[in-house]
Amino acid sequence: MSQPRLRRLRIWTPVLFAVALSLGMTLGFNLRDTLRNKRDIGAIIERNDRLEEIIDLIRERYVDTVNVNGLYNDAVEGIISHLDPHTSYIPASRLEEVNDDLEGSFFGIGVEFNIIRDTIQITSIVPKGPADRAGVLIGDKIIQVNDSAVAGVGITSERIMRMLRGEQLTRATLGLQSSADPHLRKVVVVRDVVPIYSVEANLLLDRQTGYIRINRFSATTHKEFVQALRGQLAYKITNLIIDLRQNPGGYLEQAVAIAEELLSQGQTIVLTRSRTEETVSKVEHPGLYEKGRLAILVDEGSASAAEILAGAVQDNDRGLVIGRRTYGKGLVQEQFDLGDGSALRITVARYYTPSGRSLQRSYAAGRTAYEEDFASRYYSGELTGRNDSITGLDTTPFYTNHHRRVRGGGGIFPDVVVPYDSITFNSQLLTIAYGEVAGLVTWEYYLQQAPRLRQLTTPAQVSASSAIGDSLVAALMRVSTEADRQALATICKRPAANAFLQTQLKARLARILFRSNGYYGVLAPADPVVIKARQALNGAAYQVLEGR
Protein backbone atom coordinates (compact mmCIF):
# COMPACT_ATOMS: atom_id res chain seq x y z
CA MET A 1 0.00 0.00 0.00
CA SER A 2 1.43 3.42 -0.90
CA GLN A 3 2.33 5.97 1.76
CA PRO A 4 -0.39 8.48 0.79
CA ARG A 5 -3.11 5.83 1.02
CA LEU A 6 -1.82 4.71 4.47
CA ARG A 7 -1.83 8.30 5.60
CA ARG A 8 -5.43 8.82 4.46
CA LEU A 9 -6.48 5.56 6.16
CA ARG A 10 -4.95 6.68 9.48
CA ILE A 11 -6.83 9.98 9.24
CA TRP A 12 -10.26 8.56 8.33
CA THR A 13 -10.29 5.42 10.48
CA PRO A 14 -11.03 7.25 13.80
CA VAL A 15 -13.65 9.39 12.08
CA LEU A 16 -15.41 6.39 10.56
CA PHE A 17 -15.26 4.59 13.92
CA ALA A 18 -16.83 7.57 15.69
CA VAL A 19 -19.61 7.80 13.09
CA ALA A 20 -20.32 4.07 13.40
CA LEU A 21 -20.38 4.36 17.20
CA SER A 22 -22.81 7.27 17.08
CA LEU A 23 -25.06 5.46 14.64
CA GLY A 24 -25.00 2.39 16.85
CA MET A 25 -25.91 4.37 19.96
CA THR A 26 -28.73 6.17 18.10
CA LEU A 27 -30.12 2.93 16.74
CA GLY A 28 -29.84 1.37 20.18
CA PHE A 29 -31.78 4.15 21.86
CA ASN A 30 -34.41 4.11 19.11
CA LEU A 31 -34.71 0.34 19.36
CA ARG A 32 -35.13 0.60 23.13
CA ASP A 33 -37.91 3.20 22.67
CA THR A 34 -39.50 1.11 19.94
CA LEU A 35 -39.46 -2.00 22.11
CA ARG A 36 -40.86 -0.04 25.01
CA ASN A 37 -43.67 1.20 22.76
CA LYS A 38 -44.25 -2.34 21.59
CA ARG A 39 -44.52 -3.50 25.18
CA ASP A 40 -47.05 -0.73 25.83
CA ILE A 41 -49.02 -1.74 22.73
CA GLY A 42 -48.79 -5.36 23.82
CA ALA A 43 -50.22 -4.44 27.20
CA ILE A 44 -53.05 -2.58 25.49
CA ILE A 45 -53.74 -5.58 23.25
CA GLU A 46 -53.67 -7.83 26.29
CA ARG A 47 -56.25 -5.66 28.00
CA ASN A 48 -58.37 -5.66 24.84
CA ASP A 49 -58.01 -9.44 24.65
CA ARG A 50 -59.39 -9.72 28.18
CA LEU A 51 -62.44 -7.67 27.18
CA GLU A 52 -62.88 -9.73 24.00
CA GLU A 53 -62.48 -12.95 25.97
CA ILE A 54 -65.18 -11.94 28.45
CA ILE A 55 -67.62 -10.91 25.73
CA ASP A 56 -66.89 -14.07 23.70
CA LEU A 57 -67.55 -16.23 26.75
CA ILE A 58 -70.85 -14.46 27.37
CA ARG A 59 -71.85 -14.77 23.72
CA GLU A 60 -71.05 -18.50 23.57
CA ARG A 61 -72.02 -19.76 27.00
CA TYR A 62 -74.51 -17.35 28.57
CA VAL A 63 -77.96 -18.88 29.05
CA ASP A 64 -79.82 -16.13 27.13
CA THR A 65 -79.14 -14.34 23.85
CA VAL A 66 -77.40 -11.01 24.41
CA ASN A 67 -76.80 -7.87 22.33
CA VAL A 68 -73.03 -7.90 21.86
CA ASN A 69 -72.91 -4.29 20.62
CA GLY A 70 -74.76 -3.29 23.76
CA LEU A 71 -72.10 -5.03 25.87
CA TYR A 72 -69.33 -3.10 24.12
CA ASN A 73 -71.20 0.19 24.53
CA ASP A 74 -71.77 -0.50 28.23
CA ALA A 75 -68.09 -1.39 28.66
CA VAL A 76 -67.02 1.94 27.14
CA GLU A 77 -69.57 3.83 29.24
CA GLY A 78 -68.22 2.07 32.31
CA ILE A 79 -64.68 3.19 31.51
CA ILE A 80 -65.53 6.84 30.89
CA SER A 81 -67.77 6.97 33.98
CA HIS A 82 -64.51 7.32 35.95
CA LEU A 83 -63.60 10.48 34.03
CA ASP A 84 -65.20 13.92 33.85
CA PRO A 85 -68.88 14.29 32.87
CA HIS A 86 -68.10 15.64 29.39
CA THR A 87 -65.89 12.85 28.11
CA SER A 88 -68.39 10.89 26.04
CA TYR A 89 -68.83 7.99 23.65
CA ILE A 90 -70.92 8.46 20.49
CA PRO A 91 -72.18 5.20 18.94
CA ALA A 92 -71.86 4.82 15.17
CA SER A 93 -75.65 5.04 14.80
CA ARG A 94 -75.66 8.62 16.17
CA LEU A 95 -72.36 9.99 14.88
CA GLU A 96 -73.64 11.34 11.55
CA GLU A 97 -76.51 13.15 13.25
CA VAL A 98 -74.18 14.70 15.85
CA ASN A 99 -71.62 15.77 13.23
CA ASP A 100 -74.28 17.21 10.91
CA ASP A 101 -75.51 19.45 13.70
CA LEU A 102 -72.05 20.93 14.20
CA GLU A 103 -70.99 21.05 10.56
CA GLY A 104 -73.94 23.29 9.72
CA SER A 105 -75.38 21.32 6.80
CA PHE A 106 -76.49 17.94 5.48
CA PHE A 107 -77.83 16.51 2.24
CA GLY A 108 -81.60 16.38 2.04
CA ILE A 109 -84.64 18.05 0.46
CA GLY A 110 -84.94 21.11 2.73
CA VAL A 111 -88.27 20.88 4.53
CA GLU A 112 -89.57 20.89 8.08
CA PHE A 113 -92.60 18.78 8.91
CA ASN A 114 -94.98 17.67 11.64
CA ILE A 115 -96.79 14.36 11.86
CA ILE A 116 -100.43 15.30 12.37
CA ARG A 117 -103.05 12.57 12.63
CA ASP A 118 -100.59 10.04 11.24
CA THR A 119 -99.89 12.21 8.18
CA ILE A 120 -96.68 14.10 7.39
CA GLN A 121 -97.46 17.76 6.76
CA ILE A 122 -94.83 20.20 5.53
CA THR A 123 -94.71 23.21 7.83
CA SER A 124 -91.65 25.02 6.48
CA ILE A 125 -89.47 25.01 3.37
CA VAL A 126 -85.87 26.23 3.11
CA PRO A 127 -85.94 29.20 0.70
CA LYS A 128 -84.26 28.30 -2.62
CA GLY A 129 -83.60 24.80 -1.26
CA PRO A 130 -84.21 21.54 -3.18
CA ALA A 131 -87.90 21.23 -2.25
CA ASP A 132 -88.56 24.91 -2.93
CA ARG A 133 -87.00 24.59 -6.40
CA ALA A 134 -89.09 21.49 -7.11
CA GLY A 135 -92.39 23.22 -6.29
CA VAL A 136 -93.16 21.71 -2.89
CA LEU A 137 -95.48 23.99 -0.86
CA ILE A 138 -96.13 24.66 2.81
CA GLY A 139 -99.22 22.68 3.76
CA ASP A 140 -98.49 19.78 1.39
CA LYS A 141 -98.98 16.31 2.86
CA ILE A 142 -96.38 13.66 2.04
CA ILE A 143 -98.28 10.50 1.11
CA GLN A 144 -95.44 8.57 -0.56
CA VAL A 145 -91.64 8.65 -0.67
CA ASN A 146 -90.40 6.81 -3.76
CA ASP A 147 -92.46 3.59 -3.75
CA SER A 148 -93.21 3.57 -0.02
CA ALA A 149 -96.49 4.75 1.48
CA VAL A 150 -95.81 6.95 4.52
CA ALA A 151 -99.29 8.19 5.44
CA GLY A 152 -101.45 6.30 7.90
CA VAL A 153 -98.79 3.69 8.63
CA GLY A 154 -97.60 4.89 12.03
CA ILE A 155 -94.37 6.31 10.62
CA THR A 156 -91.93 8.04 12.98
CA SER A 157 -90.06 11.30 12.49
CA GLU A 158 -86.74 9.43 12.59
CA ARG A 159 -87.78 7.07 9.80
CA ILE A 160 -89.10 9.78 7.50
CA MET A 161 -85.92 11.82 8.01
CA ARG A 162 -83.83 8.81 6.98
CA MET A 163 -85.97 8.46 3.85
CA LEU A 164 -85.71 12.14 2.90
CA ARG A 165 -81.99 12.46 3.52
CA GLY A 166 -79.43 10.84 1.24
CA GLU A 167 -76.40 11.36 -0.97
CA GLN A 168 -76.04 14.65 -2.81
CA LEU A 169 -77.75 14.79 -6.24
CA THR A 170 -79.76 11.62 -5.62
CA ARG A 171 -83.49 11.83 -6.31
CA ALA A 172 -86.49 11.47 -4.03
CA THR A 173 -89.90 11.10 -5.66
CA LEU A 174 -92.61 12.50 -3.39
CA GLY A 175 -96.31 11.79 -3.64
CA LEU A 176 -97.93 15.00 -2.37
CA GLN A 177 -101.44 16.08 -1.57
CA SER A 178 -102.38 19.72 -0.97
CA SER A 179 -105.12 20.95 1.32
CA ALA A 180 -106.93 22.42 -1.68
CA ASP A 181 -106.60 19.43 -4.04
CA PRO A 182 -107.06 15.81 -2.87
CA HIS A 183 -105.43 14.39 -6.04
CA LEU A 184 -101.95 12.95 -5.60
CA ARG A 185 -99.21 14.77 -7.48
CA LYS A 186 -95.70 13.43 -8.01
CA VAL A 187 -92.72 15.74 -7.46
CA VAL A 188 -89.09 14.75 -8.02
CA VAL A 189 -86.70 16.49 -5.61
CA VAL A 190 -82.92 16.34 -6.16
CA ARG A 191 -81.20 16.14 -2.77
CA ASP A 192 -78.62 18.82 -2.13
CA VAL A 193 -76.91 20.72 0.65
CA VAL A 194 -79.41 21.87 3.27
CA PRO A 195 -78.04 24.45 5.72
CA ILE A 196 -78.62 24.11 9.46
CA TYR A 197 -78.55 27.70 10.64
CA SER A 198 -77.05 28.48 14.01
CA VAL A 199 -77.98 32.17 13.90
CA GLU A 200 -81.62 31.50 14.68
CA ALA A 201 -82.90 35.07 14.70
CA ASN A 202 -81.74 38.38 13.26
CA LEU A 203 -84.07 41.23 14.21
CA LEU A 204 -84.30 44.97 14.73
CA LEU A 205 -86.12 45.54 18.03
CA ASP A 206 -86.21 49.30 17.45
CA ARG A 207 -84.28 51.87 15.44
CA GLN A 208 -81.22 51.62 17.68
CA THR A 209 -81.28 48.01 18.87
CA GLY A 210 -80.36 44.85 17.00
CA TYR A 211 -81.04 41.33 18.28
CA ILE A 212 -79.13 38.21 17.17
CA ARG A 213 -79.86 34.79 18.64
CA ILE A 214 -77.22 32.04 18.29
CA ASN A 215 -78.43 28.54 19.19
CA ARG A 216 -75.02 26.77 18.93
CA PHE A 217 -71.52 27.31 17.54
CA SER A 218 -71.30 25.29 14.33
CA ALA A 219 -68.77 25.46 11.49
CA THR A 220 -70.71 28.31 9.84
CA THR A 221 -71.68 30.41 12.87
CA HIS A 222 -69.15 33.22 12.44
CA LYS A 223 -70.06 33.61 8.76
CA GLU A 224 -73.79 33.73 9.65
CA PHE A 225 -73.15 36.20 12.47
CA VAL A 226 -71.14 38.58 10.29
CA GLN A 227 -73.84 38.54 7.64
CA ALA A 228 -76.53 39.31 10.23
CA LEU A 229 -74.47 42.03 11.93
CA ARG A 230 -73.60 43.76 8.67
CA GLY A 231 -77.29 43.86 7.81
CA GLN A 232 -78.07 45.49 11.15
CA LEU A 233 -75.18 47.96 10.95
CA ALA A 234 -76.63 49.18 7.66
CA TYR A 235 -79.47 50.55 9.82
CA LYS A 236 -76.87 52.26 12.05
CA ILE A 237 -77.74 50.43 15.27
CA THR A 238 -76.03 51.63 18.46
CA ASN A 239 -77.19 48.80 20.73
CA LEU A 240 -76.73 45.07 20.11
CA ILE A 241 -78.22 42.15 22.05
CA ILE A 242 -76.67 38.72 21.45
CA ASP A 243 -78.86 35.95 22.86
CA LEU A 244 -76.90 32.86 23.95
CA ARG A 245 -79.58 31.35 26.16
CA GLN A 246 -79.84 27.56 25.86
CA ASN A 247 -76.74 27.59 23.62
CA PRO A 248 -74.80 24.39 24.50
CA GLY A 249 -71.57 25.49 22.81
CA GLY A 250 -69.80 23.82 19.90
CA TYR A 251 -66.68 24.89 18.03
CA LEU A 252 -64.48 27.14 20.19
CA GLU A 253 -62.86 28.81 17.16
CA GLN A 254 -66.27 30.09 16.05
CA ALA A 255 -66.89 31.75 19.43
CA VAL A 256 -63.38 33.22 19.29
CA ALA A 257 -64.02 34.58 15.79
CA ILE A 258 -67.23 36.28 16.96
CA ALA A 259 -65.42 37.75 19.98
CA GLU A 260 -62.92 39.27 17.54
CA GLU A 261 -65.78 41.20 15.94
CA LEU A 262 -66.71 42.71 19.31
CA LEU A 263 -63.43 43.32 21.18
CA SER A 264 -60.48 45.61 20.46
CA GLN A 265 -57.27 44.45 18.85
CA GLY A 266 -54.85 42.86 21.35
CA GLN A 267 -57.45 42.01 23.99
CA THR A 268 -57.46 38.46 25.37
CA ILE A 269 -60.41 36.23 24.50
CA VAL A 270 -59.63 32.92 26.23
CA LEU A 271 -56.82 30.86 27.74
CA THR A 272 -56.67 27.12 27.07
CA ARG A 273 -54.48 24.89 29.27
CA SER A 274 -53.72 21.24 28.59
CA ARG A 275 -51.30 18.96 30.44
CA THR A 276 -48.40 20.20 28.34
CA GLU A 277 -49.12 23.72 27.12
CA GLU A 278 -51.07 26.95 27.46
CA THR A 279 -52.59 28.77 24.50
CA VAL A 280 -53.75 32.39 24.66
CA SER A 281 -56.24 33.59 22.05
CA LYS A 282 -56.14 37.33 21.41
CA VAL A 283 -57.97 39.65 19.04
CA GLU A 284 -55.85 39.88 15.90
CA HIS A 285 -57.81 42.24 13.65
CA PRO A 286 -60.28 45.13 13.88
CA GLY A 287 -63.87 44.02 14.49
CA LEU A 288 -67.20 45.06 13.00
CA TYR A 289 -68.73 46.20 16.30
CA GLU A 290 -66.07 47.41 18.72
CA LYS A 291 -67.73 50.55 20.04
CA GLY A 292 -71.51 50.23 20.23
CA ARG A 293 -73.31 49.13 23.39
CA LEU A 294 -73.52 45.38 23.86
CA ALA A 295 -75.53 42.93 25.99
CA ILE A 296 -75.03 39.15 26.12
CA LEU A 297 -78.05 37.12 27.30
CA VAL A 298 -77.28 33.87 29.13
CA ASP A 299 -78.97 31.29 31.31
CA GLU A 300 -78.33 27.89 32.90
CA GLY A 301 -78.36 26.31 29.41
CA SER A 302 -75.52 28.49 28.08
CA ALA A 303 -72.41 26.31 28.08
CA SER A 304 -68.84 25.92 26.85
CA ALA A 305 -68.16 28.17 23.84
CA ALA A 306 -71.19 30.31 24.78
CA GLU A 307 -69.61 30.88 28.19
CA ILE A 308 -66.26 31.70 26.58
CA LEU A 309 -67.86 34.49 24.52
CA ALA A 310 -69.80 35.84 27.51
CA GLY A 311 -66.69 35.67 29.74
CA ALA A 312 -64.54 37.50 27.18
CA VAL A 313 -67.10 40.30 26.90
CA GLN A 314 -67.45 40.54 30.68
CA ASP A 315 -63.75 40.39 31.59
CA ASN A 316 -62.83 43.01 29.00
CA ASP A 317 -65.69 45.27 30.20
CA ARG A 318 -67.00 45.28 26.64
CA GLY A 319 -70.65 44.78 27.52
CA LEU A 320 -73.16 43.59 30.10
CA VAL A 321 -73.96 39.93 30.72
CA ILE A 322 -77.67 39.64 31.55
CA GLY A 323 -79.84 36.72 32.68
CA ARG A 324 -78.96 33.82 34.96
CA ARG A 325 -75.74 31.96 35.87
CA THR A 326 -74.47 29.83 33.02
CA TYR A 327 -74.06 26.06 32.95
CA GLY A 328 -70.42 25.92 34.10
CA LYS A 329 -68.57 23.87 31.44
CA GLY A 330 -64.94 24.83 31.11
CA LEU A 331 -63.55 21.62 29.61
CA VAL A 332 -62.26 21.14 26.05
CA GLN A 333 -63.13 17.93 24.17
CA GLU A 334 -61.35 16.46 21.16
CA GLN A 335 -63.13 13.88 19.02
CA PHE A 336 -61.36 10.65 18.04
CA ASP A 337 -63.07 8.51 15.40
CA LEU A 338 -62.96 4.77 16.10
CA GLY A 339 -62.69 1.87 13.68
CA ASP A 340 -66.31 0.75 13.95
CA GLY A 341 -67.71 4.17 12.96
CA SER A 342 -68.23 5.39 16.52
CA ALA A 343 -66.27 8.17 18.19
CA LEU A 344 -64.85 9.12 21.58
CA ARG A 345 -64.80 12.71 22.78
CA ILE A 346 -62.05 13.08 25.37
CA THR A 347 -61.41 16.10 27.56
CA VAL A 348 -57.94 17.36 26.63
CA ALA A 349 -57.77 20.84 28.21
CA ARG A 350 -59.51 23.47 30.33
CA TYR A 351 -60.80 26.94 29.42
CA TYR A 352 -60.05 30.08 31.43
CA THR A 353 -61.46 33.56 30.91
CA PRO A 354 -59.13 36.54 30.35
CA SER A 355 -59.10 37.29 34.10
CA GLY A 356 -57.92 33.72 34.77
CA ARG A 357 -61.08 32.21 36.22
CA SER A 358 -62.17 28.69 35.46
CA LEU A 359 -65.72 28.21 34.22
CA GLN A 360 -65.98 24.57 35.22
CA ARG A 361 -68.22 23.74 38.14
CA SER A 362 -67.23 20.88 40.43
CA TYR A 363 -68.06 17.29 39.53
CA ALA A 364 -66.47 15.83 42.65
CA ALA A 365 -69.83 14.59 43.93
CA GLY A 366 -70.29 12.36 40.87
CA ARG A 367 -72.12 12.50 37.57
CA THR A 368 -75.60 12.15 39.04
CA ALA A 369 -75.21 15.20 41.27
CA TYR A 370 -73.58 17.07 38.40
CA GLU A 371 -76.51 16.37 36.09
CA GLU A 372 -79.02 17.39 38.76
CA ASP A 373 -77.51 20.86 39.11
CA PHE A 374 -80.49 22.55 37.47
CA ALA A 375 -82.86 21.09 40.08
CA SER A 376 -80.45 22.13 42.82
CA ARG A 377 -80.46 25.70 41.56
CA TYR A 378 -84.25 25.71 41.48
CA TYR A 379 -84.74 24.34 44.99
CA SER A 380 -82.07 26.64 46.42
CA GLY A 381 -83.98 29.65 45.11
CA GLU A 382 -81.25 30.80 42.73
CA LEU A 383 -83.38 30.49 39.58
CA THR A 384 -86.47 32.05 41.10
CA GLY A 385 -84.72 34.99 42.75
CA ARG A 386 -85.59 33.86 46.29
CA ASN A 387 -81.91 33.46 47.14
CA ASP A 388 -78.95 35.22 45.54
CA SER A 389 -76.25 33.58 47.70
CA ILE A 390 -74.62 30.57 46.03
CA THR A 391 -72.56 28.30 48.24
CA GLY A 392 -69.84 25.80 47.43
CA LEU A 393 -68.24 27.82 44.63
CA ASP A 394 -64.78 29.30 44.14
CA THR A 395 -64.41 32.35 46.41
CA THR A 396 -61.14 33.51 44.80
CA PRO A 397 -61.60 37.12 43.63
CA PHE A 398 -61.07 37.85 39.92
CA TYR A 399 -61.12 41.28 38.31
CA THR A 400 -62.07 42.68 34.93
CA ASN A 401 -60.00 45.22 32.99
CA HIS A 402 -61.77 48.04 34.85
CA HIS A 403 -61.25 46.24 38.17
CA ARG A 404 -64.81 45.06 38.58
CA ARG A 405 -64.92 41.95 40.74
CA VAL A 406 -66.25 38.78 39.07
CA ARG A 407 -66.66 35.19 40.26
CA GLY A 408 -65.35 31.90 38.89
CA GLY A 409 -65.65 28.18 39.42
CA GLY A 410 -69.28 27.71 38.44
CA GLY A 411 -70.09 29.40 35.16
CA ILE A 412 -70.48 33.07 34.28
CA PHE A 413 -72.34 35.18 36.84
CA PRO A 414 -74.42 37.88 35.11
CA ASP A 415 -73.89 41.58 35.71
CA VAL A 416 -77.69 41.94 35.74
CA VAL A 417 -79.63 38.96 37.13
CA VAL A 418 -83.11 38.22 35.77
CA PRO A 419 -84.87 35.36 37.61
CA TYR A 420 -87.46 33.14 35.99
CA ASP A 421 -90.68 34.98 35.17
CA SER A 422 -93.23 33.95 37.81
CA ILE A 423 -95.79 33.29 35.05
CA THR A 424 -93.75 30.24 34.02
CA PHE A 425 -94.40 28.56 37.39
CA ASN A 426 -97.95 27.78 36.27
CA SER A 427 -97.54 24.19 35.06
CA GLN A 428 -101.05 24.05 33.54
CA LEU A 429 -100.37 27.15 31.48
CA LEU A 430 -97.05 25.79 30.19
CA THR A 431 -98.53 22.39 29.37
CA ILE A 432 -101.28 24.03 27.30
CA ALA A 433 -99.08 26.68 25.64
CA TYR A 434 -96.31 24.28 24.60
CA GLY A 435 -98.47 21.21 24.06
CA GLU A 436 -99.18 19.22 20.91
CA VAL A 437 -102.81 20.41 20.77
CA ALA A 438 -101.69 24.06 20.64
CA GLY A 439 -99.41 23.21 17.72
CA LEU A 440 -102.23 21.42 15.90
CA VAL A 441 -104.64 24.31 16.45
CA THR A 442 -102.12 26.84 15.16
CA TRP A 443 -101.37 24.75 12.08
CA GLU A 444 -105.03 24.24 11.18
CA TYR A 445 -105.73 27.95 11.73
CA TYR A 446 -102.95 28.71 9.24
CA LEU A 447 -104.40 26.30 6.66
CA GLN A 448 -107.87 27.85 7.02
CA GLN A 449 -106.62 31.45 6.89
CA ALA A 450 -103.56 31.06 4.63
CA PRO A 451 -104.57 33.54 1.87
CA ARG A 452 -105.25 36.28 4.42
CA LEU A 453 -102.24 35.48 6.61
CA ARG A 454 -99.85 35.52 3.65
CA GLN A 455 -100.68 39.19 3.18
CA LEU A 456 -98.92 39.95 6.48
CA THR A 457 -95.34 41.11 5.90
CA THR A 458 -93.78 41.23 9.39
CA PRO A 459 -93.93 39.28 12.68
CA ALA A 460 -94.94 42.54 14.38
CA GLN A 461 -98.22 42.47 12.48
CA VAL A 462 -98.96 38.99 13.85
CA SER A 463 -98.02 40.09 17.35
CA ALA A 464 -100.18 43.22 17.22
CA SER A 465 -103.34 41.42 16.06
CA SER A 466 -105.69 40.80 18.98
CA ALA A 467 -108.05 39.11 16.52
CA ILE A 468 -105.46 36.43 15.74
CA GLY A 469 -104.79 35.85 19.43
CA ASP A 470 -108.45 35.61 20.35
CA SER A 471 -109.19 33.27 17.42
CA LEU A 472 -106.34 30.92 18.35
CA VAL A 473 -107.44 30.75 22.00
CA ALA A 474 -111.06 30.12 20.94
CA ALA A 475 -109.96 27.33 18.60
CA LEU A 476 -107.84 25.83 21.37
CA MET A 477 -110.84 25.97 23.72
CA ARG A 478 -113.00 24.05 21.22
CA VAL A 479 -110.66 21.06 20.81
CA SER A 480 -109.34 20.80 24.38
CA THR A 481 -110.42 18.27 26.97
CA GLU A 482 -112.93 19.32 29.61
CA ALA A 483 -110.17 19.71 32.20
CA ASP A 484 -108.09 21.89 29.85
CA ARG A 485 -111.14 23.98 28.95
CA GLN A 486 -111.64 24.77 32.62
CA ALA A 487 -107.97 25.65 32.97
CA LEU A 488 -108.17 27.83 29.85
CA ALA A 489 -111.20 29.66 31.22
CA THR A 490 -109.20 30.49 34.36
CA ILE A 491 -106.14 31.53 32.31
CA CYS A 492 -108.21 33.88 30.15
CA LYS A 493 -109.43 35.72 33.25
CA ARG A 494 -105.84 36.55 34.26
CA PRO A 495 -104.38 39.26 31.99
CA ALA A 496 -100.73 38.21 32.37
CA ALA A 497 -101.45 34.51 31.81
CA ASN A 498 -103.74 35.23 28.86
CA ALA A 499 -101.12 37.51 27.28
CA PHE A 500 -98.45 34.83 27.72
CA LEU A 501 -100.62 32.15 26.09
CA GLN A 502 -101.57 34.38 23.15
CA THR A 503 -97.93 35.35 22.63
CA GLN A 504 -96.87 31.69 22.47
CA LEU A 505 -99.65 30.82 20.00
CA LYS A 506 -98.88 33.83 17.81
CA ALA A 507 -95.17 32.94 17.86
CA ARG A 508 -96.00 29.46 16.54
CA LEU A 509 -98.07 30.99 13.77
CA ALA A 510 -95.33 33.51 12.92
CA ARG A 511 -92.83 30.64 12.63
CA ILE A 512 -94.97 29.10 9.89
CA LEU A 513 -95.12 32.45 8.08
CA PHE A 514 -91.59 33.77 8.62
CA ARG A 515 -89.56 30.79 9.95
CA SER A 516 -87.48 31.31 13.12
CA ASN A 517 -87.22 35.08 12.62
CA GLY A 518 -91.00 35.18 12.89
CA TYR A 519 -91.02 33.08 16.05
CA TYR A 520 -88.53 35.28 17.88
CA GLY A 521 -89.95 38.41 16.28
CA VAL A 522 -93.08 37.77 18.35
CA LEU A 523 -91.40 36.41 21.48
CA ALA A 524 -88.42 38.75 21.93
CA PRO A 525 -90.27 42.07 22.48
CA ALA A 526 -92.33 40.43 25.27
CA ASP A 527 -89.41 38.51 26.82
CA PRO A 528 -88.57 39.79 30.36
CA VAL A 529 -84.82 39.21 29.84
CA VAL A 530 -84.83 41.11 26.54
CA ILE A 531 -86.85 43.90 28.15
CA LYS A 532 -84.32 44.10 31.02
CA ALA A 533 -81.43 44.14 28.52
CA ARG A 534 -82.93 47.04 26.59
CA GLN A 535 -83.37 48.96 29.83
CA ALA A 536 -79.82 48.18 30.98
CA LEU A 537 -78.24 49.24 27.69
CA ASN A 538 -79.70 52.71 28.16
CA GLY A 539 -79.45 52.93 31.95
CA ALA A 540 -77.14 53.35 34.91
CA ALA A 541 -75.74 49.80 34.74
CA TYR A 542 -74.07 50.53 31.42
CA GLN A 543 -72.75 53.88 32.63
CA VAL A 544 -70.97 52.02 35.46
CA LEU A 545 -69.49 49.63 32.88
CA GLU A 546 -68.18 52.59 30.90
CA GLY A 547 -66.61 54.04 34.07
CA ARG A 548 -69.00 56.97 34.36
**What is the bridge-based pairing of β-strands 239-243 and 209-214?**
parallel
Chain Cα centroid distance, residue 197: 11
What confidence score (pLDDT) does residue 61 get?
Answer: 87
Residue 480 · residue 488 · CB < 8 Å? yes
pLDDT at 313 over 70: yes
Q: Render pLDDT for 360-390 as a digit per residue (tens, 0 to 9).
A: 998 988 888 999 998 988 888 888 888 766 6
Q: Render pLDDT for 519-533 as a digit per residue (tens, 0 to 9).
A: 999 999 999 999 999
Report the amino acid identity of residue 42.
Answer: G
The 10 Å CB-count burial string (b at 16+, else e) for 104-142 is: bebbbbbbebebeeebbbbbbbbeebbbbebebebbbbb
3-state helix, strand, coil in the chain (%, to 5): 45, 20, 35
Which range has the worst mean pLDDT, 198-202, 377-381, 441-445?
377-381
Beta strands in 126-264 (DSSP E): 141-145, 148-149, 171-177, 185-190, 192-195, 199-204, 209-214, 239-243
DSSP string, 361-415: PP-TT-HHHHHTHHHHHHHHTTTTTS-----SS----EE-TT--EE--SSSPPPS
State whether the Cα torsion 517-446-423-302 is positive or negative. Answer: negative
pLDDT band at 43 (very low <50, low <70, confident <90, very high): very low
Three-class secondary structure of residue 49 per DSSP? helix
Three-class secondary structure of residue 123 per DSSP? strand
Report the amino acid identity of residue 60.
Answer: E
Rg (CA), the chain: 30
Which residue(s) pair with 254 in the sheet? none
Three-class secondary structure of residue 472 per DSSP? helix
Neighbours of 86 (CB within 10 A): 20
Q: What is the CATH number of domain 199-420?
A: 3.90.226.10
State percent of the chain over pLDDT 70: 89
pLDDT band at 391 (very low <50, low <70, confident <90, very high): low
pLDDT band at 46 (very low <50, low <70, confident <90, very high): very low
pLDDT at 330 over 70: yes
Q: For 105-195, which CATH class?
A: mainly beta
Which has more pLDDT, 36 or 509?
509
Beta strands in 248-342 (DSSP E): 268-273, 278-282, 293-298, 320-323, 331-337
pLDDT band at 48 (very low <50, low <70, confident <90, very high): low
Residue 348 · residue 84 · CB < 8 Å? no
Q: Which stretches of 411-538 are DSSP H helices?
A: 427-433, 436-453, 459-464, 466-479, 482-492, 495-523, 528-537
Torsion region of 385: left, alpha or beta (phi above 0 gives left; psi -120 to 50 gives alpha): left
* Average of per-residue pLDDT values in the chain: 88
pLDDT at 47 over 90: no
Contacts of 539 (CB under 8 A, 6+ apart): none
CA dihedral 178, 179, 184, 190 (to 10 degrees): 20
State percent of the chain over pLDDT 90: 67
pLDDT at 41 over 90: no
Report the amino acid identity of residue 252.
Answer: L
Contacts of 12 (CB under 8 A, 6+ apart): none
Which has more pLDDT, 349 or 12?
349
What confidence score (pLDDT) does residue 201 get?
Answer: 97
Order of strands, sheet of 239-243, starting from the edge strand that comes earlier in the sequence: 199-204, 209-214, 239-243, 293-298, 320-323, 416-417
Residues of the chain with CATH 3.90.226.10: 199-420
Residue 197 · residue 110 · CB < 8 Å? no
Report the amino acid identity of residue 525.
Answer: P
pLDDT band at 163 (very low <50, low <70, confident <90, very high): very high
Residues of the chain with CATH 2.30.42.10: 105-195
Three-class secondary structure of residue 34 per DSSP? helix
Residue 326 · residue 334 · CB < 8 Å? no
Residue 460 · residue 454 · CB < 8 Å? no
CA gap 499, 495 in Å, rounded: 6
What confidence score (pLDDT) does residue 15 get?
Answer: 45
Residue 152 · residue 119 · CB < 8 Å? yes
Residue of 170, 196, 199 lying closest to 261 (CA atoms): 199
Side-chain half-sphere of 392: how many Cα atoms within 13 Å?
10
CA gap 414, 393 in Å, rounded: 15
